[in-house]
Structures are given as structure tokens and as C-alpha cells.
Amino acid sequence: MSMGWSLWVMFLVVLNMGISLFLFLWGPRAKIPSQPDQTTGHAWAHGTIREGLRPLPRWWLLLSGSMFIGGIGYLVLYPGFGNHKGLLHWTSHGQLAKAVAANDAKLDPLLQRFDLYSVEQLAGDPEAQQMGQRLFDDNCAACHGRNAHGNQALGAPNLTDNDWLYGGSGKDITTSIHDGRGGVMPPWASLGEQTVKNLAQYVLSLSGEPHDAKMAAAAEPIFKGTCAACHGADGKGTQALGAPNLTDHIWLHGGSLADIEKTIHDGRQGHMPNWDKRLSDDDIHVLAAYVYHVSHPDVGAQ
């Protein structure tokens, strides 16, 4: 704080405390005209309600005086009076540093133990699950939901169904969190409206959903000549590309006919941000274990 601002703050403090002290000392001694019945003469509701006049109670005076003395003591001990650092030399940065150090002292042994295990092994550890859930709620729940069931409107996948776009091993999940992922489904409106409708029927047929067999048959060669490059000839997807499996009844952007037609016609684009700038490697390791746990809830402590 510059000297000018320091002096301005000191002036405001002295002014406010001076006014408060004046009112505190003057108030109990002020002579206010009153009626014989100890009212001021102000009345409402045709005299039913009259304004009374009573001296301040002693407990209020003692309490107010002690609070005023406490305020002065605070400004002596702590920062607040311009650039005065306080006799205790307390700072919010210093308190935060102490709190972080105390927290790290508790966490470090725990994290060192976590590092001894793979993501798959750590997924069954109750302490890792508890810490991982906090990390998930703070960083991932905005898209994937607190229950990790995903959000089709955002294209955020369900993490509890063991269906993975980029692989579900501990290493794959760690990479997804650390580096992020980006997937693009190009729009195929250029194929024509009827072809888009036929392809939607064929996609429904891949997952065994009710469909128009004639339209699906017409789209099969187009799918195998165009879509199979990413989704595979059998429609089971390619994890290296993040192309979803179209045969398992699990839909990233919705599985209704309208949803599928929109996906084919307009394309889709998804982005999973990288978290290595926000989270430490230890945090990512524990978070990956938690994500593995929510899709493998039966994994016990190892």
C-alpha cells in the first residue's frame, strides 16, 4: 500500500472511531426534553402509541465500551491501521502458508502410499475413494454430474457403465485426465437428406433397435465405405480415435432416431480439457482411481 493510501485509511479509521467515541460519551449525558410521564410527546394511532424515553441500560454501556476497547486492541495487534503491520506480524498469506504446510504434512504420507499402487489396485482403497470423490466433485462433476452418469447435452460420457471412448484401463484414464481428449464427428449432410435418414436406420440396426430394414440395407454400403473408417466395419468403434461403439445401446448424444439423424447430419464435437495444469500428478493418480472405481464398484481393497 502506498503512503498516500495508508494515510487515507488511517484518517478514515480515526474519523470513524472518533465519531463513535463522541456519540458513546455524549449519548448517555444528552438532555432530551420529555413529558412528566417520561415520553417525548410523539404519539401515533390517536395517542395509543407513545414514544418512550429511557436511559441506556448499564449492560449495553459496558458491552459497547468493551467492544470499542477491543477494536483499538485489534488495530494494535493486527494489520488494519494503514501500513501498520501489527505487533503480532500476522498476515493472511502467512496463515494460509501454515495451513497448507499442515495439510501437506498430513497428505504426504497418504500420497506416498497411494503411489505404491496402480490405478486399478488403488480403486479399492477407501481413503483413495474419499479423496478422489472430492477431486471429482470439484473438477469433473460440472460436466459428468456428481453421480458420474454423464450429460448427453454436453456430450460428457457416463463413467459408470464401463463403456469407454478412449479405453478404460488405469493408464488410459490417467492419460485422459492428464492430457485431455478431443473428438470430432464430421457432418454428413452433404450425403443428402435421404442418405442421412437411411444411415440413422442402419445405426439403429447395429444395436438391435427397431428400424426400417429396407432403409438400413440401402445405407449399409455407405456406412462401410464412409463411417467404418472410424467406427469399424462392425460398428464397434475405435478407441484410438475416440469413435464410440454403436452396437452397445449406450449413446453419447442420445439414442433416439432424431438424435442419431442430428448427429449424422450436423456432426458432433467434444472436448475434454487437460487437467495437468490444475491438478498435480498425485491428484490425477487418485482421481483416475476414483473414476475406475465408479465403473468397477465391486473392486475391493487390495
Q: Which of 21-35, 181-195, 209-223, 256-270 has the lowest mean pLDDT?
A: 21-35
211 annotated as a binding-site residue: no
What pLDDT does residue 301 have? 52
Percent of the chain scoring above 90 in pLDDT:
80
144 annotated as a binding-site residue: yes
Give the whole-angstrom CA distance, residue 63 versus residue 70. 10
What pLDDT does residue 44 have? 87
272 annotated as a binding-site residue: yes
pLDDT tens by residue, 187-208? 999 999 999 999 999 999 999 9
227 annotated as a binding-site residue: yes
89 annotated as a binding-site residue: no
* Averaged pLDDT for residues 266-294: 95
pLDDT tens by residue, 62-95? 999 999 999 999 999 999 899 999 999 999 999 9
What pLDDT does residue 302 have? 52
271 annotated as a binding-site residue: no
Please give the CATH topology (third level) of the domain spanning 110-295: Cytochrome Bc1 Complex; Chain D, domain 2 (1.10.760)
What pLDDT does residue 241 have? 92
178 annotated as a binding-site residue: no
- Check pLDDT > 60 for residue 120: yes
* Averaged pLDDT for residues 111-138: 95
The residue type at 252: L
Percent of the chain scoring above 70 in pLDDT:
99
Domain residue ranges in the chain: 3-28+36-42+53-92, 110-295
Predicted TM-score of the model (pTM): 0.73
What pLDDT does residue 28 have? 80
285 annotated as a binding-site residue: no
Which among 260, 264, 257 is positioned nearest to 211, based on CA atoms?
A: 257
What pLDDT does residue 18 have? 93
